[in-house]
């Protein structure tokens, strides 16, 4: 298997997946659900978390307006 570079989204998804599967509140597989379907469902959920983290981190990097001087100071 060739080494693949992970991008930040993949890394976030992997971290989210670890959290999703660790513990008693992990997503449960239904009896009617094939193992591959379960894996895809949980992976998609992990990527939803990853996308949210990227969206929030992008917002956090935006320059904030300078509020050090206000109209009440004049």
pLDDT digits (tens, 9 = 90+) for 16-63: 999 999 988 899 999 999 999 999 999 999 999 999 999 998 877 655
Host domain of residue 49: 32-58
* Residue at 46 is within a domain: yes
The vertex-53 CA angle with 49 and 55, nearest 5°, equals 115
24-57 as b/e, with b when 16 or more CB fall inside 10 Å? eeeeeeeeeeeeeeeeeebeeebbebbeebeeee
Most confident of 11-15, 24-28, 61-65, 67-71: 11-15
The answer to whether residue 66 sits within a structural domain is: no
Number of domains in the chain: 1
In a domain, 63, yes or no: no
Residue 7 in this model has a pLDDT that exceeds 90: yes
């Amino acid at each position: 298997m060739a080494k693949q570079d992970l991008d930040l989204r993949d890394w976030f998804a992997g971290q989210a997946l670890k959290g999703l599967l660790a513990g008693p509140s992990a997503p449960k597989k239904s009896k009617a659900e094939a193992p591959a379907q379960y894996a895809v469902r949980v992976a998609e959920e992990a990527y939803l978390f990853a996308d949210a983290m990227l969206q929030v981190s992008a917002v956090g990097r935006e320059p904030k307006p300078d509020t050090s001087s206000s109209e009440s100071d004049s």
